[in-house]
Structure 1
Amino acid sequence: MKEQEIIDYLKSKGEIFDFIAGADLNKFEGNQYALINQDSSIFKLVSVKKGKRKEMVTDSKGKKTEKSIEVIDDYDTVKTFDLHNTANVEVDKFAVSRLYTFDNGEVIRINEKFNEFDSYLSSQNVSSSLKERKWYRKILGFRSATPWKMILATLFTMAILFLLFDLATESSAEKDTRIAAEKKEKADAEKLIKDAEKQKAKDEAAEKARKEEEKKLAAQEAEKQKQEKAANAKTYASDFAPITEMQIGNIDTHWDNLWKATFDGVSNGTMDNFTAYTNMVDLSKKYDGLKDSLNNMETPEYFDDKDRELLEKYKDNMSTMLSTRQEGIEKAKEVFDSNKLTPSDVEEIKSKGKLSESFMMQGLSALTELNSNYGHEYKKSE
């Protein structure tokens, strides 16, 4: 369990402190902590009771698993220390802990954060003195005067001494054997290094050759695509572009010859209503033919997805434009048939004309982009 979780729990229970340190009453008990408040001469030693709780945890893949979580169930105060009447403390240093014996006889073992605890004692005007030991009590294992530790330390020290003695009294034959073995190990290591360097050079050469081959293939593919693009542009200019140019040319021609000419003739009195009506019927039929031409256009095999999208946009907008114009043509036929033109008729015909122009501009925009993809400039059909 993380220290911060313990701190948060104790503070949630109303405890006031600046830091905590693992500690005990020289009994080597776990889960005990000294709660230190820098501004107070009183500090506590508390025991935290931990337990386990099972929770459902969801991993990154959304899978739920049951996980055991360590939690704090409760805590209690083991002892309260008051430094009001304490002037001195004797400090006994061990490998991983320090034993503090106050002049009032109270004892506490601090297992971490020694500097912080010493600083706290100093702030409370408690002077410290280091416990003096005989020379042999300074040896690791003899400092605590614990029999089993002293026996274990003695055995370990003797083993080290025997090993050093054995090395120092190595025979000539053993020395020669050891030196020969060391030379062999060195030679084997040098051979491994050389083999690794050769393999590295071989791998680098293979990688260089692979990259050069990839570069060569990329250049060949680029040249192939360039040639295909040139061939496609040529086919586009000779087979596809003339169809769209003829369609646009016919749209303009039929509009000028039948729509504009009819309304100009009716306006200046050179054309009667019967002829005007016949022209509207003829114009609508020609537009039907143009719509069939658009719908029956085949998509070239060399078109990519973007080209196909532009072609469909051209066809849809131009067909919609023709249908919108035909709606205006039908209104014009009613006017010529009844020989009666009202303001609302004029407004409706103009509205259809403007709407059809917007569809035509969108269709021509798509065609212009399509022509640009193949380096083709629009040529007006003769």
Structure 2
Amino acid sequence: MGKKKKESATEKIERGIKELYSTEQRQLLLVTKIQRSNHLNGLNYYAAFNEDGVEIYQENKNATYNVMRADRFGWKEWLSVDVDHYTLKSNFLFKNGLDTWNLIIELKGKDVVQLIKSYTDIQVNDIPRPWYKKILGFRSGKKWKMVIASIVYLLILSSFISNFGNSGKQGTNSQSTTAATPASTQQTIDSTQQKVNTEEKKKEDAAKKKEQQKAIIQFEQELYSIEKPATAAGNRYKATAEKMGKGQATIYDLYEAASNANKQADKTRYAYSTLKVPEGLPADVTDMLKEAKSKLSTAYYTKSKAMEYAMEFIDSQKPSDLQKAKEETQMSDQFILAGITKVLEAKEKMGIPLDNKKQ
């Protein structure tokens, strides 16, 4: 009785994802290994396809099913996808008019295309590619890569011809040379391919980081834009209070300014609470931005309360209401500072100059 075939690492991970889906009573359409920008950290990543979208799983030997969910993308988020098939991988660039998402599938690219056509309304655009551009080294069309690839392929061809011509004509020395030549050639191939992959990886990482930086800067600009109406209303309230002290405004003017500042603060609170953090960012950066908008939302909640106490003071003239208004205002300022600090931490983490709001 033969030995049972040992399960490969990929088979083990795919089995784990299937078991996870079975436990959660969800339908799994396809699971396949993918390439990610941070795959050089030694971890493997897999994509699990279902009727709702794609879930990205990261290898984790300490987890119950040897994987942990790292990301999720819904089909409804995308309008079209450009598909570029290579020899060993397929590049999927999803688009929705504003954002893009790049997914690199290993080996099962055509299966994924068929799945997208069957289960979604996403328009699939196959990018035509001449046969020679599917060959390793010729895909990018860059001369230096093509030269290196040509040299490697010539070495392989010459090695094959040499081995074929010398077959049966030489003894032990021939066998030794025959064994050594393919090994040397393979080392050259591996070394060359590693250099090409490293170069491509650096460019992919740089492009991805630039897109992430743009997303963070845009998010920061949205944060500042949201607060402008509330800031303007607060300034009008302060100006009206100063005018009232000089006899240039009435108590009714002050009450109306406080009421308007209260409404604008509440609108700002809601806008911050519903603002979405950009997708595709590192987990720690995402957490920073979520905390930033949470603190800003809380800041304008307390600012709204401050205006309520100010309105009560205008009505009652109780010193306690005025004191509460001051305390809520101070607390609001502290939350605003904490929120801005988190945004600056996220920018610093992503290498964005702190004095640069535009990328």
TM range (shorter): 0.3 to 0.5
Larger radius of gyration: 1
Using the size of structure 1 for normalisation, the TM-score is 0.43
Q: TM-score, normalised by structure 2?
A: 0.45
